[in-house]
Homo-oligomer: A and B are copies of this chain.
Amino acid sequence: MSFENYFPIWDKLTDLQQEHIRSAVISKSVKKGAIIHSGTTDCNGLILLKSGQLRAFIVSEEGREVTLFRLLDLDICLLSASCMFNSISFDVTVEAEKDTEFYLIPTEAYRSVMAESAALSNYTNELMAARFSEVMWLIEQIMWKSLDKRVATFLLEESALEGSEMLTITHESIANHIGTHREVVTRMLHYMQNEKMVSLSRGQVTIINKELLEKLRNS
Contact = CB atoms under 8 A, between A and B. Distances in A.
Interface stretch (A40-48, A80-88, A149-157, A194-202): A80-88
The number of times this chain is found in the oligomer is 2
B124 A125 contact: yes
Interface of A: 58, 60-62, 64, 66, 85-90, 114-118, 120-122, 124-133, 135-140, 142-144, 179
A132 B139 contact: no
Given A125-B125, A128-B128, A66 B143 contact: yes
Contact of A135 (B127, B130, B136, B144): B136
Nearest to A79: B132
A85 B132 CA distance: 11
B125 A85 contact: yes
